[in-house]
Structure 1
Amino acid sequence: MADVTITEGDLLRAALAKAGRQAFLAGEGGMSYLILAVAPTGQDSEQRAYGGPHLLMYAGEQADRPAAEHREPWSAHLHGAYGDYVATVFDGSPVPLDAAADAELCATKVLAWLGKHLGDVTSRPEHA
């Protein structure tokens, strides 16, 4: 069996998936991040996520870093359909957290923001 390394992005994707939201690993200029379509209908592909308002979520510069190397907190930023920055949704934990706890916190904040601003009715993780 191949050695499987769980990444920071894997943890956040799993936390969002608990609420039925799908994020995609993407990258540009040597950075990697997760992208999440704001509208639930844009969740079927990375390209569709970019086609409308979306959240870009960063753990420093590498969302595909092994979770064991987690050093920088997750943050989430709203971008418009043309990629323009709109607002910061979550600016990261003020205290250091391990990779799993940080991913859960970011997912909780993102899901709460979606619920508050968009009337998103997707189910929430138990801790939300």
Structure 2
Amino acid sequence: MLHDDDCPSVADGTPFTARLTSTPRPERHPAVITPARYSLDVALAAVTSAGPSEGDVLRAALTACAIPSYKANDGGTSCVLVPINRTANEGDAHTGVKLLISSGEDAERPAEAHDEPWSAHLYGPENDFIDSVFTAPDFLSLDEESALTAWAVLRWLEANAESYTHP
């Protein structure tokens, strides 16, 4: 999890996370605007009745954080796709820069079969691997892990999506 101790400080010693709420944000491309600040609790509340698959639970948490997502397959592995350009339709989402989030080989497994943590990886338009973005800890329940993953993806998108989105 992210803590102030893990984040870089500015020259005056102010924790990096304190700057997130106190520093005015520059004008952003519409694809990367977050309509409101979302908490981990919002994502966690959304997953309590989600299912039946582990991917459905994650997608409920992502939806609660205003992050569009789609079911996808990557080389025989079913996963959850998050377009970097959040205004993209489903067709464009598959052909643009995206995050592919998976847990083992099959995001369509029943929720109770979830046994590997979610991990999010950044891929280019030609499905070329760019970077690993997040891996959830392996000691959480599926609900907690999905909420944390959605929250981490939201934070990553807020900080990085503009670098991959062209107006």
TM-score (norm 1): 0.81
Structure 2 counterpart of 1:37, which letter? P
Counterpart of 1:60?
104
1:27-84 Cα shifts (integer Å, max 9, x gaps): 2443210111001111x21x21122110000011110111111100000000111111
Which one of the candidate residues 13, 17, 20 is aligned to 2:59?
A: 13
Q: Which runs of 5+ in 1 are unaligned?
A: 120-128
TM-score (norm 2): 0.63
**Secondary structure in structure 2 of the residue aligned to 1:41:** coil
Which one of the candidate residues 112, 122, 128 is aligned to 1:84?
A: 128
Which one of the candidate residues 80, 83, 89 is aligned to 1:34?
A: 80
Counterpart of 1:126?
none
Q: Looking at CA atoms only, which structure, 1 or 2, has the larger radius of gyration?
A: 2
**Secondary structure in structure 2 of the residue aligned to 1:87:** strand
What's the Cα RMSD here?
1.7
Identity %: 38
Between the aligned partners of 2:135 and 2:142, the Cα distance in structure 1 is: 16
Q: Which structure has the highest helix share of the two? A: 2
* Over 6 Å off, 4+ runs: none
Name the count of aligned residue pairs. 113
Which one of the candidate residues 76, 83, 94 is aligned to 1:50?
A: 94
Cα gap change, 1:30 to 1:118, in 2 (>3 Å): closer
Structure 2 counterpart of 1:35, which letter? L
> Does 1:104 find its partner at 2:147?
yes
Q: Which runs of 5+ in 2 are unaligned?
A: 1-50, 163-167
